[in-house]
Structure 1
Amino acid sequence: MNTPRRQFVRTSLAALASPTLLKAENKADRINLAFIGPGGMGTNHIKTMCKRTDVTFSHVCDADSKRAETAAKTIQELTGQTPKVVTDMRRVFEDKAVQAVLMATPDHWHAPGAIMAANAGKHVYVEKPCSHNLREGRLMIEAAAKNKVCMQVGTQSRSTAACMQVIEKLRSGIIGDILVTKTWNSQLRKNHGHQPDSEPPPELDYDLWLGPVPKVPFKSTYHPAHWRWFHHFGAGDFGNDGVHDIDIARWGLGVDQHPNRIIGQGSKLFFDDDQEWPDTLYCAFEYDIAGKTKQLIYEQRDWSPYVQEGHENGCAWYGTKGMVIGGKAKGTWEIYGEKNKLIEKITGTGPDLAAHHANFFDAIRTSAKLNADITINHLSTALCHLGNIAARTRSALVFDPAKEQFAGNVDASKLLKRDYRDHWAAL
C-alpha cells in the first residue's frame, strides 16, 4: 500500500506510544472487551492487555471450560477484574454492553466468529490468518463495512516501529524500483506422530469447538495446540508463521491487489506423522501492475535446524539499485546499495503486540486508520490460500484479482471456499 510520508511518520509515532499513556479518566472512557479463544496466543494478548488501564474485561469465552477459567483467573490476578466465563460465543455477542472482541480461536472460527461479532455491532481484533479460505476473507470485509466496525488482524509487524521504518525507506526509493521480494520460513518444527481417534477431554465441548466444520472424530493433536496442521482447521505453517512474513514482504513490494499468476510445489519431505499440510513449500506469485510485472516468492522448510541469511523467518527485497534483508523476530534490517555496499542498518525489537493493541483501541475511539485492517490482511492471507491451492492441485494457476476466481481450473476453484455442516455459524 502506498502511504504518504507524512501520514506514515505520524502512524509510526503513534505505534511507539506506550498503551499505558491512554489512561481513562473515568469508566465511561474504558472499552468493554471480551476475549474469545484464550489459548497460547490468546494468553499473550491477555497478559499484554492487562497492563492497560482503559479496558474492562467483560467476558472470557472458550469451548474448553478449563482454559476459559484459567484465563479469567489470570485477568483477576493482574487487574482485579472478574470477567464472566462462558463457553458459547453467542453469549458474548448478545450482550449489548460488549463493545469489542478479541478472537484468538483456531483458524476455522476466525471468519464465522468475526462476522457474527461485526453483525452484532462489535469491533473485532482477530488473529491471523484472518480466514480459513479466500471466500471467508471477502465476507469479513463486507461484514466490517456493512456494520461500520473496526476489524484489525493480528499481524503485529504492521505496528512495529522498526518494520514501519524499513517500509518507509523502501517507499523513499533507497534501493530503486523493487521488482522482486522473497520471504522464508525456515525452522525446525515438532513431529506429532500418528494419533488414534479418541474421546475429547471432559472440559472440552468438542461439538462447539468444531463449530461449522463437518464432523470428524477427535484426535489429541487437534486440541489444545496442533489443529493448524490439518486441512479442516488451519492453513498449515503458511497461514501460521508464514503469513506474518509474507505480509511484510507484500507491504514492502507495494502491491495492493491479488496476484495474476501462482505456481507452487509442496510436500511432506521430512515428517512422518498425521500432519496434512506440507512441511516443505515453494510458491511464486506474479503481479501485473500498470504494464509492469513484480514477483513475490515464498519458501518454507519446517525441518531446517539453521537460519537463512541470518534470519529463521526473514524477508528480502531486490531493487534496481540495491536490496534489503532482515527479519521481524530480531527487528533488524540491512539496506545494501550497489556492489553490496551497506548503506544503513535498522535495529529495533520483535513484533510489538502492545502497539498493535493501541492502534486498535485508538481506531475505535477516534476513527484513526487501522494498521492491519481486514482489507489489508485479506490480500496477504489470500497468498497463503492461493499458494496452498497451487501446491495441492500441482497447478500453474491464472487468477482474476478483481473477481477472485481462477481461470479454467475446476479443482482449484473448489478450494476457494469450504463446505460447512448445518450449523448456526455456517457462512
Structure 2
Amino acid sequence: MNTEKQPNQWHKMGFTRRSFLKASSLGYLALEAGGSLAWAKTGKSSNELVRVGVIGCRNKGYNVLREILRTGRALCVAMCDVDDEVLQRRAAELKKETGQSPKLYVDFRKMLENPEIDAVIVGSPDHWHCLHAVYAMEAGKDVYVEKPLANSIHECNLIAAAAQRYGRVVQVGQQQRSGDVWNGLMDYLKSGALGGLRRVNCWANFAYGAGAPKVPDTAVPEGVDFRLWLGPAPERTFNASRFHGNWRHFWDYGGGLMTDWGVHLLDMALWAKDITEEPTKVSGFGMNLSGLDRARETYDTQSVLYQMDDFLIQWQQNGGIERGPYEKSYGVEYVCDGGTIVADREDWTLYPEGKETDTEQAEAFKLRSGRSDMDLHANNFLDCVLSRKLPNCSVEIGRNVALYAHFGNVLARTGAGSLDWDATQQQFVGHAPANGLIVPDYHHGWKLPAV
C-alpha cells in the first residue's frame, strides 16, 4: 500500500448493518460462512497490504494485531512496548506464526517516525490512549484504538477533534458494532415487531472487577521503562497490583468495570434507538461492598440510571462475582411492549409478552456466521483505511458512549447522586467537584495535545 499521506474529508456516513435472516416463524437461525481467512501467507505483495504498527503488545493490542493479520490484508512492520520481556516474547510469537519480523520500539514517539506505517493499533492502558491516538493521527496514521476511547471526558473530545482535523480513519474497539448477533438484534428491534422500547438494562458481573490481591511494592522489574509506562500519570511506586492488567482499577489509569465493560454494553443500549447525543441527566452510586480486601480505587458495586427522552437505560455491575440475570455474567435486556429480549455476544432470546417466560417458552435466535465479532471488526477497519469511509464504530460513537461510562464514575467519585450535563458547554451544571474531573492533570512534562 502506498504510504504517502493525503488529507481526507471526514465523511459523515451512517454505518452499514448486515441484514438479519428473515424467517416466517421464530426459532433457531444459523448463517454459515466460508472458510477461515488467510493468516500469514497472503499471496499479495507488500505494496498491496496495509502496514500496521502496534503500541501495547501484552494483551489486547496483540490480540487485535493478530485479528488484523488473519485477514490476509495487512503486514506488521512495527511493535512497541515499555516492557522488554513482553515485546521480545510477542515478537517471537509473531515470527513463529507469520514469519514477519517488525521493527521493535520502546518509545512510541520513535515508532511514529517510521514512514512505513499506514495504521496504528493503540492497545495501551487507558491513560495513554489520548496521546498515542492523537500523535499517531498527527503523524498521518489511521488508528484502531481500544475502548474506552480515553480515560477522561476531555481526552475523548481531543481524540474526536484530532480525527476531524487530520482526516484520519479511527475505529474504536467496540467490536459488537460489527458482529452478526448484534446487527441482527438491532434490525429486529427497529422493525417494530415488539412495539415500543421502554427500558434497557445492562449488567456486568466479573470476578476481576473487585481488583487484584494486595501485594507489597517492589523494585521495577528488569526491562520495564516504568517512567514511560506512567507517562502523564502522577509519580508512584511500582506495585504489581497496579501494573499489567490490574491498572484499570486505579483512577489514574482506568475506570474499572464501568469503563471496561460499560462502553460495550451501554453502546448496545444506545444503538437500539440510534442515540448519538450525550446524556443530559444521570443518577447513580458506586461503593465497594464485596467485602474483598483488594487493591483498587474503582468500585466493585455500582448502579447508574440514564434518563433519555422516551426510555430508560440502567447499568449495574458487581465485581467479585460471576453470576447474573438470566444466568449470564454480562448481558443486555431490552424491555418492550410486546416482549423482552436478552442478549450477549453469543445469541439473543425473545421472551414474548403474555407467554410463560421459562426456557421452554422462550424463543432463541442465534446467528453463527463462523466469523467472530473481532474478525468482522478488523476487516471493517481495513475496508475503511482503503475507502476512507466511516467505520462501524467511528470515533464519535466511541466518544459518545465513553462519556456515558465516565459520567457513571464521576457520579460515584463525587457522591453527587445525580448530575445534569450541558453538552454545549461540556460541563456539569452547578457541580464544581464533578467539573474538576473532566480534564485530567498531566505530569512528568507531558502535555494535553493541542488539537
TM-score, normalised relative to structure 2: 0.86
CA distance in 1, matches of 2:133, 2:305: 30
Name the counterpart of 1:157: 176
Name the counterpart of 2:128: 109
Name the counterpart of 2:327: 310
Identify the match of residue 199 of structure 1 among 219, 223, 226.
219
1:283-294 aligned within 5 A: 283-288=304-309, 293-294=310-311
Name the counterpart of 2:269: 249
CA distance in 2, matches of 1:47, 1:150: 20
The answer to which of 21-30 and 404-413 deviates more is 21-30
Identify the match of residue 417 of structure 1 among 433, 436, 439.
439
The answer to which of 181-190 and 32-41 deviates more is 181-190
- 1:375 to 2:396 alignment: yes
Name the counterpart of 1:397: 419
Superimposed CA distance per residue, residues 149-193 of structure 1 (whole angstroms, 9 cap, x where no aligned partner): 111111111111111110111111122121211100023236523
Name the counterpart of 1:169: 188
Indicate if the aligned counterparts of 1:181 and 1:297 stay in contact, CA closer than 8 A. Answer: yes
Indicate if the aligned counterparts of 2:14 and 2:390 stay in contact, CA closer than 8 A. Answer: no
Name the counterpart of 1:275: 296
Indicate if the aligned counterparts of 2:119 and 2:143 stay in contact, CA closer than 8 A. Answer: yes
CA distance in 1, matches of 2:257, 2:400: 17
Shift of residue 304, structure 1, vs aligned partner: 2.4
Runs of 4+ in 1 over 6 A off after TM superposition: none
Name the counterpart of 1:74: 93
Name the counterpart of 1:185: 204
Shift of residue 202, structure 1, vs aligned partner: 1.2
Name the counterpart of 2:139: 120
CA distance in 2, matches of 1:326, 1:161: 12
CA pair 238-40 structure 1, distance change in 2 beyond 3 A: same
CA distance in 2, matches of 1:401, 1:325: 31
| One-letter amino acid of the counterpart of residue 246, structure 2 | H
RMSD: 2.4
- 1:213 to 2:230 alignment: no
CA distance in 2, matches of 1:283, 1:138: 22
Shift of residue 87, structure 1, vs aligned partner: 0.4
Name the counterpart of 1:44: 63
Shift of residue 11, structure 1, vs aligned partner: 11
Indicate if the aligned counterparts of 2:143 and 2:170 stay in contact, CA closer than 8 A. Answer: yes
Name the counterpart of 2:428: 406
Shift of residue 227, structure 1, vs aligned partner: 0.4
Name the counterpart of 2:27: none
| One-letter amino acid of the counterpart of residue 234, structure 2 | P
Q: Which runs of 5+ in 2 are unaligned?
A: 1-12, 22-32
Superimposed CA distance per residue, residues 238-285 of structure 1 (whole angstroms, 9 cap, x where no aligned partner): 111232112112212432111111111111111212200000000001
SS at match of 1:9: coil
CA pair 306-386 structure 1, distance change in 2 beyond 3 A: same
The answer to which of 352-361 and 366-375 deviates more is 366-375
| One-letter amino acid of the counterpart of residue 195, structure 1 | V
The answer to which of 296-305 and 189-198 deviates more is 189-198
| One-letter amino acid of the counterpart of residue 47, structure 1 | R
Indicate if the aligned counterparts of 1:24 and 1:30 stay in contact, CA closer than 8 A. Answer: no
Name the counterpart of 1:148: 167
1:213-362 aligned within 5 A: 213-270=233-290, 271-288=292-309, 293-328=310-345, 331-340=346-355, 344-348=363-367, 352-362=373-383
SS at match of 2:163: helix
| One-letter amino acid of the counterpart of residue 345, structure 1 | A
Name the counterpart of 1:384: 405
Identity of aligned residues (%): 27
Name the counterpart of 2:30: none
Superimposed CA distance per residue, residues 292-347 of structure 1 (whole angstroms, 9 cap, x where no aligned partner): x321100000122423213110001112222211112xx11012333147685221
Name the counterpart of 1:8: 17
| One-letter amino acid of the counterpart of residue 198, structure 1 | T
The answer to which of 409-418 and 365-374 deviates more is 365-374
CA pair 167-20 structure 1, distance change in 2 beyond 3 A: farther
| One-letter amino acid of the counterpart of residue 85, structure 1 | L
TM-score, normalised relative to structure 1: 0.91
